[in-house]
Amino acid sequence: MTKFVKGNEAVVIGALYAGAEGYFGYPITPASEVAHKAAEYFPATGRIFVQGESEDAVAYMLYGAGAAGCRALTATSGPGFSLMQEAISYMSATDIPTVIVDVMRAGPGLGNVYPEQADYGQVVHGGGHGSYRCIVLAPGSVQEMCDLTMLAFEKAFEYRTPTVVLADGQLGQMMEPLRLPKGEAAPVDTSAWATQGTPETRRNLLTSIYLDAPEQERMNVRLQAKYARMDREFQRSEAYRCEDADVILLAFGSSSRVARSAVDALRADGVRAGLFRPITLSPFPIDALKPLAGRRLWAVEMSCGQFRDDITLHLAKAGILPSGGIGLINRMGGMLISVKDIVRTVKEAL
């Protein structure tokens, strides 16, 4: 069955089918519909909804929920995500799984409520204190707002790490037909490590304090080993018309939708263009990108070039430095990138 829903509602539907037991929310435009729908659907299906007093409180509620071995989520936008960073660092250090959806708006500061992708750095690189990073999934459609929220729960619990669904205002607000998931996720057994208030979990302890520096270093090494394992096992991306492409547009989220239209428009104009769309921003899908690195690359993004710079870094670490660098086609402040701008920029550079 399909339902015609906003991306923000699709997140809630995905969370429900993923077996989410609790939603802990704080309102912020353009993410608020996630909380609205969660307030409607969670209690109506026997689950928990709590409106917290702030985003930092909500993030610690997620930490509490995760420590109790429960599947819980929240959704926010840039300013709220900034406030959650402390708790995300704690959760990362304590191997606590949780899911946070960031429906990005324009910044910095108070900014406005139109779409931007400038939370890239603070979300993808672990914006809080210490050497950690989250799994970051980037949906490109309403269907993926649902499907990747489900996947986020699966991976968060598989790796025991906070997982972020990095969306934007346009994805949150737009509507598309959503195919409802086929079945509900099975319960997860967390009794080996969570504090559930039961006899078998009584000795479980969740903390991230290591006063002894060598011990703290071992903890860091273990964490980095986990991230390295994630990098090996969990890279996802999508390539559209890349096979024979001379020009590859690199984009995620709403920008990937414009880029897809631009690929078709460029091809109609005789330019062999393709689109490479990371679905996992962390781990970055470097294995799939590497074979395309010799083409003319353009990053299409709604930020100052954070995504472009990160791709440059990933390619450099893989031993590849694209000649001429990666071009940047971007808008900021809530302005959408137009197909026309992409086509013109790419053609002018040829």
Partner 1 sequence: MATLGTKGMFDVFTRSGSESRATHYCAGCGHGIIHKLLSEAYTELGLQDRTVIVNPIGCAVFGYYYWDVGGVSAGHGQAPSMATAISRLRDKAITVSYQGDGDLAAIGLGHTLQAAARGEHMAVFFVNNSIYGMTGGQMAPTTLIGQKTTTSPLGRNPATDGMPLHLCEMVNTLTLPVYIERVSVADTARIMKAKAAIRKALEIQRDRKGYTFVEILSPCPTSVGRSPLDAAKFVIEQMEKEYPLGCLRDRSAEAPVRPEPKPWVSLAQFFGDDGSEEPRHEAAEVCERHFKFTGFGGQGILSLGLVVADAARALGLETTWLPTYGPEQRGGDAACMVVTSTHTIGTPAIEHPELLVVMNQAACAKHLHTVRPGGLAVIDSTVRLPDPLPEGIRIMQIPAIDLATANGVPKAANVAMLGALIALDALGIPAHVVTEALERSFARKPALIEPNRRVLRAAVDYCRHHGLTGELP
Q: For partner 1, which is the closer residue by CB, 270 or 319?
A: 270
Q: For partner 1, which is the closer residue by CB, 21 or 231?
A: 21
Binding region for partner 1 (CB under 8 A) out of 41-49, 150-158, 220-228, 305-313: 41-49
- For residues 161-190, which are near partner 1 according to CB under 8 A? 169-170, 173-177, 180, 184
Distance CA(12)–CA(191), nearest Å, equals: 26
- Nearest partner of 64 among 79, 75, 77, 74, judged by Cα: 74
Distance CA(283)–CA(66), nearest Å, equals: 22
Question: Dihedral of CA 91/94/99/104: which sign?
Answer: positive
Binding region for partner 1 (CB under 8 A) out of 18-26, 129-137, 229-237, 304-312: 18-26
CB 73 within 8 A of CB 98: yes
Binding region for partner 1 (CB under 8 A) out of 131-139, 145-153, 222-230, 255-263: 255-263
| Angle, alpha carbons 322-325-331 (nearest 5°) | 135
Q: Binding residue for partner 1 (CB under 8 A) from 27, 36, 39, 64?
A: 64
- Is position 207 an interface residue for partner 1 (rule: CB under 8 A)? yes
Q: Binding residue for partner 1 (CB under 8 A) from 79, 336, 345, 347?
A: 336
CA-based Rg of the chain, rounded to a whole angstrom? 20
Q: For partner 1, which is the closer residue by CB, 11 or 230?
A: 11
CB 4 within 8 A of CB 178: yes
Q: Binding residue for partner 1 (CB under 8 A) from 262, 266, 289, 329?
A: 262
Q: Binding residue for partner 1 (CB under 8 A) from 2, 131, 191, 224?
A: 2
- Is position 312 an interface residue for partner 1 (rule: CB under 8 A)? no
Omega cis (within 30) before 283: yes
Distance CA(10)–CA(12), nearest Å, equals: 5
CB of residue 69 to partner 1, shortest distance in Å:
8
CB of residue 82 to partner 1, shortest distance in Å:
15
